[in-house]
Amino acid sequence: MSVFRGIAHVYGDNIDTDRIIPGKYTKTLDAQTLAAHVLEDLDPNFASRVRPGDVFVAGYHFGAGSSREQAAIALKVAGISVVIARSFAGIFYRNAINIGLPLVEAPDHAILDGHCVWVDLEQGLVVDETSGCVYRSARMPPVMVAILRAGGLVNYLRQYGDYEMECAAT
Amino acid sequence: MGQTIAEKVVSHHAGRQVMANEIAIVAIDGAMATDATAPLAIKAFREMGGVRLWDPSRVVLVIDHAAPAPNEQVSNLHALMRAFGREMGCVLYDVGEGICHQLMVEYDHVRPGQIILGADSHTPTYGALGAFAMGVGSTDLAAAWLTGKTWLKTPASIKIVLDGTLRTGVSAKDLVLFLVRQIGADGARYQAVEFTGSAIRSLSLASRMTLANMTAEMGALTAFVDLQGLDLPYRFDPIHPDPDAVYSVVYSFNVDHLLPQVAIPHAPSNVVPIDEVAGTPIQMAFIGSCTNSRLEDLRAAAAVLQGRKLAPGVRLIIAPASRQVFMMALQDGTIATLTESGATFITAGCGPCVGTHQGIPGNGENVITSTNRNFRGRMGNPHASIYLASPAVVAASALRGVITDPADVL
């Protein structure tokens, strides 16, 4: 689960959850419907252009706003393998981990659209293969690594039945 | 070392001394979900193998985000919630009872010092009652239903000291819009915001809820409003920060000369004093949402509109915070005053604020609203522009047809 490689789709700062998936599309339990409308007001071509394994790259405060987990689900089901941003909004960050969408915070990245990028989550490394630049990210808390490793919080709790104290230790 | 309020509440619930940035597993006191988040939580709960809730009396479901249902798809999700509520024996507030955060406070599901999870980003609202209230997504909430616990990184805290007295016609909404501008959309990201100072003492519970509510627009994890001057119908021990508690930043403001504030499109942090946008034409006005649709908000609008008619071509839609608010406003004549002015009342709930139904603006229209977010597309149409303001400003603008300082019409 820890290494990803794909083509970058680069967007800007403050992309909020209403942009990722507007409220009017969230009233469904069908993940494919969410993916079909992902980011449509920001970039109407995004859903048709994204390929499985692609990398989503954003600026500051990605996922600001609503608690709607549908935003993270829409990105994941559309094919995004990992999201890189300068910073993430708190609820979005947790939601993504909980549904098994890996994230990495790289405050100083200069990744450009179309670049080939790989990410090593365990090492906290982001490498822009096209430009040759390497970025480091803060380490993810152990409890998050454990949830992500299980494939999300549903699988984690199926496996452990409860939160494990040793996973939470810093 | 001294502790902030957040550190004290987390320590109490973790059963050990915890400081900012430490990860802790905490017992929770309550868990709330709405029709925007509960259906996914129910799915996740079943997938986790959940068969019963950790404590049904502490689990609250609220049907408020698209209520009454605008179509059969939403109606079926509501039916799923009702069936789950019956099966699990938890608390369910159905269509028309009101907005989740209002009901959590009205029906005493929140007490000072508790930790409450809400599957809605404006959950920090309960900081008006001194609770550590945090917004989460559906899967986190499902896990809380199952275990009665959650994990969290103990937040660092920002202290905001507010002194002075708000002028007549200037409200908590103006104050918090001003603060969102000062602190920025992610200035309090993943932090607890502590509000204190003499200006808090005279604020009603409703106004304090407005303050705490919009800390979500600063990126905050949770908020605490000093309980001084608050008259609650039960005994409680307020949690005070230690004098040597460590804050990431302390802001001090005197509110004496604050003017009404307006957030201009398309971010709640794009805030300007009203004189910079006064005169901007508006076609739709809305008073509602978990930020500003309580009795004092409806009364503030009625004071502006008393005996007068809305400007031609302007529609004013009002969704009270709850059935109880609606009843009180009926009994004191507020509803009649507003209705005579040309306002339209809709079901107590969240619809227009989230753009799910009832009151979606048209292309190219300007909306002035007492809600909390003006992201592009927020109210259901990405081709409309949303301005955020206090209920008094919304009412004055609906009266004139252009953005108007209530001082100019009162």
Task: Tell me the chain A residues in contact with residue B123 when contact means C-beta distances shorter than 8 Å.
Answer: 67
Q: Where are the domains of chain A?
A: 3-139
CA-to-CA separations, B397 to A117, B279, B389, B403, in angstroms, rounded: 50, 9, 10, 5
More confident: B170 or A142? B170
Q: Do A143 and B23 touch (CB under 8 A)?
A: yes
CA-to-CA separations, B126 to A144, B19, B119, B122, B239, in angstroms, rounded: 27, 22, 13, 9, 14
Q: Which CATH superfamily is domain A3-139 in?
A: Aconitase, domain 4 (3.20.19.10)
Paired tokens of B249? 């930043």
Q: List B residues 318-347 in contact with A (Cβ-Cβ < 8 A).
A: none
CATH C-level class of B263-408: alpha beta
Round to whole Å and give the CA distance between A2 and B243: 44
Binding residues of B for [4Fe-4S] cluster: 290, 350, 353
Q: List A residues 59-88 in contact with B (Cβ-Cβ < 8 A).
A: 60-61, 64-70, 72, 87
- pLDDT at residue A123, rounded to an integer: 86
Q: Where are the domains of chain B?
A: 5-152, 157-254, 263-408
Is the pLDDT confidence value at A170 over 60?
no
- pLDDT at residue A1, rounded to an integer: 56
Q: Do B186 and A152 touch (CB under 8 A)?
A: no
> Quick one: closest CA in B to A159, which residue?
B48
- pLDDT at residue B43, rounded to an integer: 98
More confident: A164 or B163? B163
CA-to-CA separations, B139 to A16, B125, B223, B404, in angstroms, rounded: 20, 21, 23, 43
- Strand order through the sheet with B157-163: B222-225, B192-196, B157-163, B249-254
CATH C-level class of B5-152: alpha beta
More confident: B410 or A153? A153
CATH 3.40.1060.10 corresponds to the domain B157-254: yes
Q: List A residues 99-158 in contact with B (Cβ-Cβ < 8 A).
A: 99, 141-143, 152-154, 157-158
Asked which of A21-25, A132-136, B27-31 is least confident by mean pLDDT, the reply is: A21-25
Round to whole Å and give the CA distance between B362 and B381: 7
- pLDDT at residue A151, rounded to an integer: 93
- pLDDT at residue B108, rounded to an integer: 98
Task: Tell me the chain B residues in contact with residue A99 when contact means C-beta distances shorter than 8 Å.
Answer: 139
**B interface test, pick of A34, A39, A40, A69 with most B CB neighbours within 10 Å:** A69
CATH topology agreement for domains B5-152 and B263-408? yes
Helix (H, G, I), strand (E, B) or coil at B352: helix
Kindly give the parts of chain B with pLDDT less than 70: none
Distance, in angstroms, between B116 CA and closest chain A CA? Answer: 15
- pLDDT at residue A169, rounded to an integer: 58
Task: Tell me the chain B residues in contact with residue A69 when contact means C-beta distances shorter than 8 Å.
Answer: 37, 40, 137-139
Angle formed at CA B74 by CA B95 and CA A46, multiple of 5 degrees: 135
Of B142, B373, B382, the CB nearest to A65: B373
Residue pLDDT, tens place only, A34-62:
999 999 999 999 999 999 999 999 999 99
Is the pLDDT confidence value at A167 over 70?
no
Supply the pTM of this predicted model.
Answer: 0.97
- pLDDT at residue B198, rounded to an integer: 97
For strand B149-153 and strand B23-27, is the pairing parallel, antiparallel, or unpaired? antiparallel
B386 touches chain A (CB under 8 A): no
